[in-house]
Structure formats: C-alpha cells, structure tokens
Structure 1
Amino acid sequence: MRLDGVLFFPVTPFGPDGEVAERPLIQHVDQGVSAGAGGVFTACGTGEFNALDLDDYTRVVAASVTATAGRVPVFAGAGGSLSFARAVARAAARSGADGLLLMPPYLVTAPPDGLVRYVREVADAGGLPVIVYHRGNARFTPASAAELARMPDVIGFKDGLGDFDLLQRIILTVRQATGREFTFFNGLPTAELTVPAFRGLGVDLYSSAAFAFVPEVALAFHKAVTGGDEVLARRLLTGFYLPLVQLRDLMPGYAVSLVKAGVRLRGLDVGGVRPPLMDPSPEHVAELEKIIAAGLEIVGA
C-alpha cells in the first residue's frame, strides 16, 4: 500500500441534531477522491476524532470507506486511552479501513519505551498497517522510532513537531536500522507552509487540511512544488497559505474549525464543530472567504 500525492483529511459533518451526518460525509469524501486525493485519512484530527464516541467513529469510517470505493487507501484515526485506541482499531478493521493513523495517548507524558508498547498493543488489536503520529505528548527518540520501524505493522511516521534536527536523526537512524520501505511525512498544521523545509530532508509527502475545502489550490500547490514551479509555489504561499495561517493562529482550535467553515463556504453543509472547539466568528469567516477567493484567483479556478 503506497501513499502518494495530496493526502486528504475530511471533516466529520454533524447534522442539526448534533449527530454524525453520513450523507454529506459520503459526498465530501467522494468529491475529494474524485478531485485527486492520494489517500483519505478519516476520523483524524481534522475529523474531530477527539469528539467521537465508538458509534460515531464506526459510522464515520464505514461511510468514508463506502465513499472511497477502493480508489485510494483509507486510514482511520486511533488514539486516546489504550482501551479506546484498541476498540477503535478493531472497529476500523471491521469497517474496511486500510490502515490507522495512531495519534497520541490520552493526557499522560510517557517514556519512549512506553510509547513503543502503546503502539504495539494498538497495532496488534487492529491488525492493520499503522502510521504513527509524532506530536504532542507522543515524542519519539531516534532509537524508539527505529524500534517502531522494526514492527511489521508500522509502515510510517507522521511528524507534527517540526523539530528538523530531531527528524533528521530519526530518519537516518530508521534507514540505518532497517532496509524496509518506511514512509515519512509532514504532519504540521497547514503543512504546505513548511513543505519546502521538509523536502530539504527528503520528506516529500504531506497532509493537506486545505484540500478539504480548496482542492484546486492544494493540488496546484502540490504540482508546483513537485514540478519545480517555484514562482507559483511562492505566490500560493504568500497569497493564500500565509494569511490562512495568520488567521488560524488567532484562536486555539482554528486548525480544525476554520477547515470546517471553509467546507461550508464551498457549499456543503457539514455543521459546526463539537466542544471544546468553537466555530469561527462571523468576522473570521468573512476573512476566510476572502482568503479562499484569493487562492482560487491565483490558480485561475
């Protein structure tokens, strides 16, 4: 299973009753895959994994698998307490997911050996390929990352810290410790802003939250950076991604709720976010609308 291109992290739609709305989710995922996503990562951070119970989660993963219809791999989020992480790993497998994105355990800060054990137990529960998310309280050393890479079910490492010295040491140690194919990718919020820096380390793959609401812009940026069009890449970074990040940083949680607002602005009713996240203010939604228009103008969409 090889991931390539722009990785799509769909939002989780909620209806007027606050429950998961499968119909708009299927439409959202289908539109993203049809637009050219290289993989679907459902019920992850952008999909409000933190706010889903087991029933919600199962419905989201099953709907995403249905919408994708085998066209690209579907990875489902997992994480939190060990018992919940194992339960959702099993639910993802039953629902037809192709793999897991394993996010940090709940609350506690643990030593590297404990994190490795956490990953092993969740991977064993689901029996699915696992990509480990390196961020928050899940911080791996080069040695512990190499231990992950020796696990047959662990196929990748998503960096959400942006510590390039540490990441370079992790990459070199993993490559030295194992000759198997192992995927690294950029998982920082609004990853496009740091794509040039990650590419300097040989990490070309990245997650794109922007793809969820402006696939035209996200795909144009990906084509520009992979095709060597530095002028267009810089125009998009300056005219779209930089103001988006500046708006995102005005409020905690906007890395998710702005994406959901963007999906609504593009015409799909996906509802608001669940607490503790907050929907953007009307002023910020208006600013987001201007940023979207500027991005679409740059790519001629």
Structure 2
Amino acid sequence: MDLHAVLTPPLSFPLTPFTEDDALALDVLAVHVEQQVAAGTTAVFIACGTGEFTALSREEYREVVALAVKTVAGRVPVFAGAGGGPAVAREYLADAADCGADGVLLLPPYLVSSSPEGVLGHIRYVVGDSPLPVIVYQRANARLSPATALALLDLEQVVGLKDGLGDVEQMQRIVATVRTSGHRRARSFYFLNGLPTAELSARAYRAIGIGSYSSAVHSFAPDLAHGFARALESGDDALVDALLAAFLLPLADLRDQVPGYAVSLVKAAAVREGLAVGRVRPPLVEAAEEHVDELVRLIAAGRAVLAAAATTAAVTTSSSAAEESK
C-alpha cells in the first residue's frame, strides 16, 4: 500500500455512537461511516481518539471495527486504533486483524513514561509478527527521537508516524533523518499530522514534507473539511485564511476551553448536524449548550465563506467564457 498516494487529506476519524442506555448504536455507526466515505475521505480510522477507543470494551471494539470494515467494503482503507499496555495492545492488534482492518494506528502506551528508546521497545514488542501495517501515534508519553524514529524503518510492520506533539522543529529533524538515511524504506515511510484541529498547522507541516492530516471536522462537517483541503492543495491562500478566521481558529479557541472537548464538542456538533451519536463516556464531559450553540454558529460562518468563494469562482468562470466567445 503506497500510503502517500492513498492517504490524502482530510482523513476521517469517525465517532462511536451510543444509545440513551449506553449501548453501541451500531445502526448509527453504519450511517456515520457511510457518510464519511461518501463525502470523499481516503481512509477511515475507526475506534481511535475521536472514536473513544479507551471507553470501549474489547467486545465493543471488535463490533465497531467489524462494522466499519463491512460498511466501507473495500472502498478505502480502514485503520483501527489500538493501545494500552504492551500485552493488551498486542491483543487489540490481533482483534483488528481478525475483524478485517487494513491497518492499525498504535496509540501511546498506558500511563507509563519512558525514554525514546523505551517507546521504541514498546512498539517493537507490540507489533511483534502482526500481519497488519502499523502507523505509530507520537503523542503524550510516546515521544521519539530522530534516531528511534529512523529505527522504526527496520520494523517491517511499521509503515508510518503520526505526530500529535506539534514540535515542528523536532519533526523536521525526524523527517530529514528518515528521508536522507539511505534506508530502502526512507522514501516510502509515511508521515501524518495528527494535531487537534490539524488544519491549523497544515501549512507548517506541509512545509516540512508532511502533507497528510487527520480531521475531526470531517466527523461533523465534511464539506468544510474538504473545502479547506481543496483550498490548501490548490494554493488558494485567500480562502484558506478566510476559513481559518471564520471557522477553524475560533473552533480551536472553543475546543481549548474544556479538556476533552476535542471529542465531546465534536460529538455534540454531529448531533446538531442530525446524526444521533449520543453522549460521550466518562471521563469526558458533555459540551455545554452555549458552547455547542457557538459551534453551530461557526459552522454556518464557515459554510458562508465556502458559498461566497463558490459564487466568486462561478462569476469568474462565466466572465472568462463570455470573453472567449467574443
């Protein structure tokens, strides 16, 4: 799998829906995943951070992953989250393979802090002889150095690194170390921007060679996620700036008001958009109604920016056609 060609932004990280009595709402999940694929995502990352991986039982995890695989039906790759302590994470990798996932996003180890060499040892232990390709999520207590990131290339199952730390200088060191190493996998190794509201840092990461990013916005407003991605790819800086100012920057400000809003606010927004994904599980807290109201206003503002840009483009195209016909 050539991840550079396949995993182009924005990548989808679906929510996990729950019923009023706290069971999995699998019918809603099927609709949600179908909508994400239909909107144009190039990959589905199921049961990851936005999907409340840590809140799921192992049985629920298997149900969620299996349903995502069935719903996607091979149209795009399905990566499943996996994490916890080393032995438990190994079991989740096996579950993901049994459920038909195309790959795994390896989340940071549970609680324990270590050195970059220790994190590398954890990754080596977890992937073992897993048949699935693995993308490592560098975040929180899972921090790699350029040397240990380079060592990942010797683990055949590890195909990429997702960064959630946001240290652009350190990531530049890692990318440069890998790309110039002469290792046979140096050019194919995949890097992914995994910061919360990754659109905010997309330009900076593109500048150091990391073009792909995850998008929580895709879970509740895929039209905005794709509109931003198209503007970024085409070099439409005016539209990128307008979407940042009207929608994405105030969204990040709202998200930062309460720990856990990167999930619960997204879930509340999806409910307001008509998808019955239900509540979050503890320790996450529900988004305050006034904050959800504000997000709804921001979504409308973002869509107004896209609509205005589309109108301007249509007028320009019409004028050009008229000039050519003279």
TM over 0.5, shorter chain: yes
Q: Does 1:155 align with 2:159?
A: yes
Q: Distance in 2 between matches of 1:122 and 1:22?
A: 29
Aligned residues: 301
Residue of structure 1 aligned with 2:10, choices 6, 26, 43:
6
Contact 2:130 2:157 in 1 (8 A): no
1:179 and 2:192 correspond: no
Cross-structure match for 2:295: 288
Aligned to 2:262: 255
Once residues 258 and 18 of structure 2 are traced to their aligned partners in structure 1, the CA distance between those partners, rounded to angstroms, is 22
1:48 to 52, 63, 71: 52
- Distance across 1 between alignment mates of 2:290 and 2:66: 36
- Counterpart residue number, 2:146: 142
Mapped partners of 1:194, 1:112: distance in 2:
24
Q: In structure 2, how many angstroms separate the alpha carbons of the residues matched to 1:149 and 1:186?
A: 19
Moved over 6 A (4+): none
Partner residue of 1:189? Answer: 196
Report the 3-state secondary structure (helix = DSSP H, G, I; strand = E; otherwise coil) of the residue aligned with 2:180.
helix
Deviation, 1:116, is 1.3
How far off is 1:5 after superposition? 3.1
Q: In the alignment, is the contact (CA less than 8 A) between 1:86 and 1:125 conserved in 2?
A: no
Distance of 2:180 and 2:25 partners within structure 1: 46
Contact 1:7 / 1:206 at 8 angstroms: preserved in 2? Answer: yes
Deviations 1:5-41 (A, max 9, x none): 3100000001112011111111101001011001000
8 Å CA contact retained: 1:6, 1:218:
yes
Amino acid at match of 1:64: A
Question: 2:283 maps to which residue?
Answer: 276
Percentage identity across paired residues of the two chains: 52
Distance 1:266 1:21, change over 3 A: same
- Secondary structure of 1:41 counterpart: strand
> Deviation digits for residues 12-71 of structure 1, max 9, x if unmatched?
001112011111111101001011001000000000011111011101101111111101
Q: Which runs of 5+ in 2 are unaligned?
A: 311-326
Indicate the structure (1 or 2) with the bigger Cα radius of gyration.
2
TM-score (norm 2): 0.90
- Is 1:241 the counterpart of 2:248? The answer is yes
Match 1:60 to one of 53, 64, 67: 64
Take 1:39 and 1:149, find their aligned partners in 2: how far apart are those partners? Answer: 22
Among 212, 216, 227, the alignment partner of 1:209 is 216
AA in 2 matched with 1:228: G
The one-letter amino acid paired with 2:149 is A
Structure 1 counterpart of 2:184, which letter? G
Going from structure 1 to structure 2, the CA distance change for 1:87 and 1:101 (only over 3 Å counts) comes to same
Gaps of 5+ in 1: none
Partner of 1:230: 237
Aligned AA for 1:256?
V
Query: Counterparts of 1:31-180 in structure 2 under 5 Å?
Result: 31-124=35-128, 126-177=130-181, 178-180=183-185
| Aligned counterparts of 1:235 and 1:59: Cα–Cα separation in 2 | 40
> How far is 1:124 from its partner?
2.0
